[in-house]
Amino acid sequence: MPLMAFDTSHCNVDLEPSPIEPSWIIEGNPEARSRRLSTSGCKTAWTVIWSCTEGRFNWHYDFDETIMILEGSVVLESEGMQPKRYGVGDVVFFRSGASVKWYVDGYVKKVAFCRLTNVPGLGYAIRALNKFRSVIRRSNPAPGPRAALF
């Protein structure tokens, strides 16, 4: 069955328990909850709503993740970077392989756009193929609506 042109969802969905790896917790008893909102057809990209209560923990990224804070705030710290607070409306990008300390004071809720990364070189090949396909499509446009015949 072909995929629909687009899907819809909302940020105010019921979230399910999504426990943080216990060995990553530094302080407190942070309780994380999440819900997947969408997944790409190739299963390499997805969107998640995630929330967490107060606590301090490490997070290790094995895929690229871009977040936007929807509620609350968080202090993020990583090697070579000073701790900095991010709040509602802030957008943060985490690269695959990054390790970041999260300090949640009270509560934080985010929307996360996640993407598996390609092996080096594959991304260039995919972009070249997509460019080639777009050139072909432009040189062979789909026929427009037919004129009425009388």
Dump pLDDT digits (tens) for 85-135: 999 999 999 999 999 999 999 999 999 999 998 666 666 666 677 777 777
Residue 125 domain-assigned?
yes
Supply the pLDDT for residue 150.
42
Task: Supply the CATH number for residue 132's domain.
Answer: 2.60.120.10
**pTM of this prediction?**
0.74
Query: Where in the sequence is the domain holding 133, given as residue range(s)?
Result: 16-139
**Is residue 40 domain-resident?**
yes
- Residue 64 in tokens: 């690229």
**Residue 109 within any structural domain of the chain:** yes
**H runs (alpha helix) in the chain:** 122-139
Number of domains comprising the chain: 1
> Does any domain span residue 32?
yes
Task: Tell me how far apart the alpha carbons of residues 46 and 143 are, in angstroms, rounded to a whole number.
Answer: 34
Q: Are 78 and 102 in contact (CB under 8 A)?
A: no
Per the domain annotation, does 65 fall within a domain?
Answer: yes
pLDDT at residue 149, as a whole number: 47
What does the DSSP 8-state code read for residue 141?
A: P
**Domain presence at residue 58:** yes
Comparing 56 with 44, which gets the higher pLDDT? 56
Rounded to the nearest integer, the mean pLDDT of the chain is 86
